[in-house]
């Protein structure tokens, strides 16, 4: 192994806002994973759409709002 290679690092947040932002991103990833989505695989109709479609649109809105919120937090370090 070469010693001059750059070692990838992951820096943990140091502030409460940083931890909150990381938590939002992790929750966003978890609600879009297959085991959670399978809970909403039902034939029921919500807002005129199948439940799975409504859940998928909700994930898109949650992701967009999460990214907007993180952008407005003024520099999570």
The crossing angle, in degrees rounded to 10, of helices 16-31 and 51-72 is 160
Higher pLDDT, 77 or 9: 9
In a domain, 41, yes or no: yes
Domain count of the fold of the chain:
1
- pLDDT range class, residue 14, cuts 50, 70, 90: confident
In a domain, 48, yes or no: yes
In a domain, 47, yes or no: yes
In a domain, 21, yes or no: no
Secondary structure element (H or E) that encloses residue 45, with its range:
strand 45-46
In a domain, 58, yes or no: yes
In a domain, 29, yes or no: no
pLDDT digits (tens, 9 = 90+) for 22-72: 999 999 999 888 888 888 888 889 888 888 888 889 999 999 999 998 888
pLDDT for 74 beyond 80:
no
In a domain, 18, yes or no: no
* pLDDT of amino acid 28: 92
42: CB partners within 8 A, 6+ apart: 50, 51, 52
Q: What does pTM read for this prediction? A: 0.73
């Amino acid at each position: 192994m070469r010693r001059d290679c750059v070692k990838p690092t992951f820096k943990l947040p140091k502030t409460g806002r940083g931890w909150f932002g990381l938590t939002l991103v992790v929750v966003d990833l978890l609600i879009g994973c297959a085991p959670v989505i399978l809970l909403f695989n039902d034939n029921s109709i919500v807002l005129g759409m199948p439940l799975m479609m409504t859940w998928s649109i909700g994930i898109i809105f949650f992701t967009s709002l999460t990214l907007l919120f993180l952008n407005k937090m003024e520099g999570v370090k």
